[in-house]
Amino acid sequence: MAPKSTTLQLQQQVSVTANEQRPPPTRLARHYVAVERQDLDFSLYPSNVESLVPKIHDIQYSQGILRNDRNFSPRTNCEIFKFVHGQGSLVKDVDDIGVDKYLVETTKRSQVKHPEPETHVIFCSLVKPATQGPNFRLQSSLSRYTANNLLDYYHISPQFLPFLLGEPNYGSPGSFSSYDVYGYVQRTEFFCQHPRWNILENQQPWSIYMTFDIQARRTFYLVVTGVNCSKTALVKDRLFQTFCRNEDHNLSRRSFEDPFFIHTLIAHESLNDLKPVMTVLRTNLYDQLDEVDAYAKKPSDRRKLEKLTTELHEISQNADSLLASADMAIMVSDRMLESHQIIQQQLFAFSKYDEYHKTADALSYLRYSAQTHKRWLTSYKNRKDIAMNLVYNLVTQQDAYTNILIAREAKRDGASMKIIAALTTFFLPATFVATIFGMSFFDFQSGVYSVSKNIWIYAAVTLPLMIITILVWWMWDRISDVKHTKKLSFTRRESVTDDIEALKGKVL
C-alpha cells in the first residue's frame, strides 16, 4: 500500500502545478437557495438529541434543511470503516440497507455489559447535482432517510448539519460535552472544517464530525469531502496500513484507544496539502524577485514593470489567502487540544497514558507546524512588499528622469521662442508702418503727400473683425473649460484604469 500513497501525493503535486494558471472558479455562494422555514415538529431531529443547545441552534432552520429533498441523493453511497475487536475493516459502496444493518449491529454490541472500544468512520461525499435546488448548491451522497437516521442515532450536533451538505462557512470548530449529575463526562463531540489550501481549485473543505460515547467506549466519525478529493483515498490507505492487518499487529490495538486519532490523522493530511501550494508560491515569488533585480541593474522595456506588478499582486493575494488558512489551521489545532483535554481523565482511568500523550504531542506538533508555515508565508509576503517598493521606486526614478528631459527640452524651446519673440517685437513696428503706408489710401507721388477720404473703410472693417475674433476665441475658451470641468468633477469613476484609458491622447 505504500507505493499507492506515494502515487497519490505525486498526483496531487502535479495537479497543483497544472492548475497554477487556472482562472478563479465561480463563487458557489451565488447559487445558494434560502432555507424554507416551516412549522416545527418536536418529534423530529434535532429536537430530541443530546447535542442540542437551543441558545445557538435553530431547530426550525435545521428541519428546513432536512426537508429539502434536493440536498440528498436518491440512494445512499458511502464507505464504512470499522475497528471492532482489535481488527479494522473497510466496506465500500454501502447503500441504505447496508447502513441500517450497520446500525443494528452497532446497537447490539452497545448492549453488552462491558463493551470493548470501537471506532466507526463513515465516509460520504458531496456531488454537484444536475439541477439547482440544494440549499448550498451541493448534494450529499447520503439519502435523506439515511442522513436522518445517522443524525438521530449518534445525536450529531445540528451545528454540523450545514457542513454535511457542503456549506463552506469556515466557522469556529465546535466542541460540546454532556455530563452526569456528578460532573463526569458521559459524551463529548468535536467537529470542524479544515482550511482549503489550493485556492485555484474548486474544491470542498474537509468537514469532520466526531463523537465519543464514554460508557459504550464507542467513537464515531462522519467525514465529508468533495467527490474528487484524492486525500480521502490517502486517509483510507493510511487507516488500512495501520488497522486492517492481522491480530498480531500490536499497533492497531494500541492506537485507537484515543478517539482523536483520526482527527489528528486528517489534520496532518490537510496540512500536507499546503506544501505543494507553498512550493508553487515560493517559486513564483523567487522568479519575480529575479526579474526585478535584473531590471534594476539594467532597465529596459517598461512594459516588464507592468507584468511584474501584476505578478507580485497575484502573489500577494495568494499569500494573504494562505495566511488566513494558516490561522484557521492554528485555531482548529487549539480547539482540538482543548477538547482532547476533556477526555484525559477517562483515558487515564483505563491506563491509556501513552496513547493520550502521544495524541496530544501530535496535535501540538501540527499546531506548531501551522505556525511555522505561517511565518514562512509572512516572510514571503514581506519579500513581495520589498520587491513591490523597488518596482515603484524604479518607476518613480524613470518618471523623474523623463520629466527632467522634458523640462530641458521645454527650456530649450522656451529660449528659442524668446529669440523669435524678440525678433518679432523688433520688426513688428516697422512691418506695421510699412503695411499701413503701403496701402493705396496714401499717395506720395509728385512730392505731394495726400490721404484718401476713404481711409475710414480700413478702420470700419478692421475694428469689427478684431472684436469678432476676440469674442469667438473667448466663447470657445469658456465652453471648453466648462465641458472639461464637468467631465472631471461629475462623471462617476468606474476605476483608475478606466480613467487612464479615457484620458489617453487627450490634453488636460
Question: How many contiguous H segments (helices) and E segments (strands) does the chain have?
Answer: 14, 10
C-alpha cell at 376: 514562512
Q: Per residue in 306-319, pLDDT tens?
A: 788 888 888 888 88
The CA distance from 161 to 64, in Å, is 11
User: By C-alpha distance, which of 334, 331, 330, 335 is closest to 372?
Assistant: 330
User: pLDDT tens, 455-479?
Assistant: 788 778 888 888 998 999 889 888 8
Structure letter (DSSP) for residue 32: -
pLDDT of residue 368: 93
pLDDT in tens, 239-291: 877 776 555 444 444 556 788 988 999 999 889 888 888 888 899 888 888 88
Average pLDDT over residues 192-208: 81
Long-range pairs, 51-60, Cβ under 8 A, ≥24: 51/155, 51/156, 51/157, 51/158, 51/176, 51/178, 51/189, 51/211, 52/157, 52/158, 53/157, 53/176, 56/159, 57/157, 57/158, 57/159, 58/158, 59/158
Tell the burial category of 115 from Cβ atoms under 10 Å away from its Cβ (0-12, 13-18, 19+): middle
Decide if pLDDT at 504 tops 80: no
Report the SS3 class of residue 132: coil
Question: Residue 492: which pLDDT band, with cuts at 50, 70 and 90?
Answer: very low
Cβ pair 80, 90 in contact under 8 A: yes
**What is the model's pLDDT at position 245?**
55
Give Cα separations from 316 to 56, 289, 322, 378, 381 (angstroms): 37, 13, 10, 10, 6
Stretch 383-396: mean pLDDT: 84
Whole-Å CA distances, 78 to 10, 138, 146, 349:
26, 16, 11, 35
pLDDT tens, residue by residue, 420-439: 888 888 888 878 777 777 77
pLDDT of residue 76 exceeding 90, the answer is yes
Give the closest residue to 217 by CA, choosing from 104, 360, 121, 109: 109
Cell representation of residue 40 = 416545527
Which residues lie below 8 Å from residue 213, measured CB to CB, with a gap of 6+? Answer: 110, 186, 187, 219, 220
pLDDT over threshold 70, residue 508: no
Grid cell locating 278: 507553498
Greatest Cα-to-Cα distance within the chain, rounded to the nearest angstrom:
150
Strands 118-127 and 218-226: parallel
Dihedral angle, C-alpha 71, 72, 74, 80, nearest 10 °: 170
pLDDT > 70 in the chain, percent: 83
Q: Which of 37-46, 66-75, 177-186, 396-405 has the highest mean pLDDT?
A: 66-75
What's the rounded Cα separation, in Å, for the pair 152 and 100?
13
d(CA 68, CA 275): 39
Residue-level pLDDT at 137:
86
- Spatial distance between the Cα atoms of 284 and 298, rounded to a whole number of angstroms: 21
**Average pLDDT of the residues in 52-75:** 90
User: What burial class does residue 186 get, using C-beta atoms within 10 Å of its C-beta: 0-12 exposed, 13-18 middle, 19+ buried?
Assistant: middle
The b/e string for 367-406 (b: 16+ C-beta within 10 A; e otherwise) is: bebbeebbebbeebbebbeebbebbeebeeeeeeeeeeee
Q: Given the DSSP bridges, would you call strands 442-443 and 78-84 parallel, antiparallel or unpaired?
A: unpaired
Sort 96 into a burial class: Cβ within 10 Å, 0-12 / 13-18 / 19+.
middle
Say yes or no to pLDDT of 11 above 70: no
- The pTM score is 0.72
How many angstroms separate the CA atoms of 180 and 357, rounded? 26
